[in-house]
Amino acid sequence: MLKLLKLLKDGRFHSGQDLGVALGVSRSAVWKQLQHLEAELNLPIHKVRGRGYQLAAPLFLLEESAIAERSQGEHWPALIFDSIDSTNAQALRAITEGQAAPFLVLAERQTAGRGRRGRQWVSPFAENLYYSLVLRIEGGMRQLEGLSLVVGLAVMRTLQSFGVADAGLKWPNDVLVNNQKIAGILLELVGDPADVCHVVLGIGINVNMQATTEVDQQWTSVRRETGAAIDRNLLVARLNHNLQLDLERHRQAGFAAFQHEWEQAHLWQGRAVSLIAGVNKIDGVVLGIDGQGALRLVVDGVEKSFSGGELSLRLRDDS
């Protein structure tokens, strides 16, 4: 089925006979595979008598060689899957199996993609970026301080390089455009964070997705913002490069080196917000972040700092 998809990915018409010859199967077998593609991967295929079959839009399938050709700096080896439960889950399995870091896990589709706080991450086939980078961290907690915020900056700059000029950050792990989510970050740790551990930097970016009924919040994509389809291999290469630069800077100088830059990019700076922690809600005004990446709020006239993986930030109605 995927061999057929690779023949069709250019978005041009291909006759059933030509496809059958290329695959070594009958035209009726081609027809069955096309039906399976539409049903299994939700890919619209145009069928025109006398012209053949055409994908509704060209696909940029992920290929390690294409990423390497477009890369600057170090090339991280990539494990690329057609379909997987979650790139973060696979990354954690690969760590357990002894895969040497750094390495990437990429997928065309996730069947159980997840975001922060146990939420589903909608993952249609070959439209968006489902990306997990595994790093080995030595030197204790300082190497982890503010790490997810550093990743957010790298993602934001990558999106801006593709023309998404209004991309900005929302504490702790979201990238927004006009209050619509375009990317999210999920970090997971294995090992002893005070000594030696592995960290999985999970990144989901809405790239070429134009419509879906599955997302339960306001969203946008690179294609929606720019009007152009994006080569996801180039996106991976640029993201890799930006991460390499920022991760090295973070390793040498710590998160404090990014604090001002991050606050400048924070879309909710100075806004009235509600911080949600389980069933508890704390109302305050965003002051910024501290040198470890914790959120600074003015709560009832008093400055307080908050950090933790289960916190969620919402704009207040009176903001």
* Residues 17-31, mean pLDDT to the nearest whole number: 88
- 9: annotated binding-site residue? no
Please tell me the predicted confidence (pLDDT) of residue 93. Answer: 96
Residue 129, number of CB atoms within 10 A of its CB: 24
Q: Is 181 a catalytic residue?
A: yes
Q: Which of 116, 157, 223, 224 is catalytic?
A: 116
Domain ranges of the chain: 2-55, 64-263, 268-315
- 114: annotated binding-site residue? yes
CA 289/CA 208 separation, integer angstroms:
32
Note the CATH number of domain 2-55: 1.10.10.10
* pLDDT confidence tier of residue 274, bands split at 50, 70 and 90: very high
- 115: annotated binding-site residue? yes
Buried-exposed string 30-44: b where 16+ CB fall within 10 A, e elsewhere: beebbeebeeebebe
CA 11/CA 7 separation, integer angstroms:
9
The helix-helix angle for 147-161 and 232-253 (nearest 10°) equals 140
Please tell me the predicted confidence (pLDDT) of residue 214. Answer: 62
Superfamily of domain 64-263: Bira Bifunctional Protein; Domain 2 (3.30.930.10)
CA 293/CA 180 separation, integer angstroms:
23
190: amino acid identity, one letter: V
Could you tell me what percent of the chain has a pLDDT over 90?
A: 62
Q: Which CATH number fits domain 268-315: 2.30.30.100, 3.30.360.10, 3.20.20.140, 2.40.50.100?
A: 2.30.30.100
Q: Which of 109, 157, 170, 181 is catalytic?
A: 181
Residue 165 confidence (pLDDT) above 50? yes
- 87: annotated binding-site residue? yes
Choice among 26-30, 82-86, 303-307 with the minimum mean pLDDT: 26-30
64-263 matches 268-315 in fold = no
Task: Give how far the C-alpha of residue 40 lies from the chain's centroid of Cα atoms, to the nearest Å.
Answer: 23
- 128: annotated binding-site residue? no
Q: Is 6 a catalytic residue?
A: no
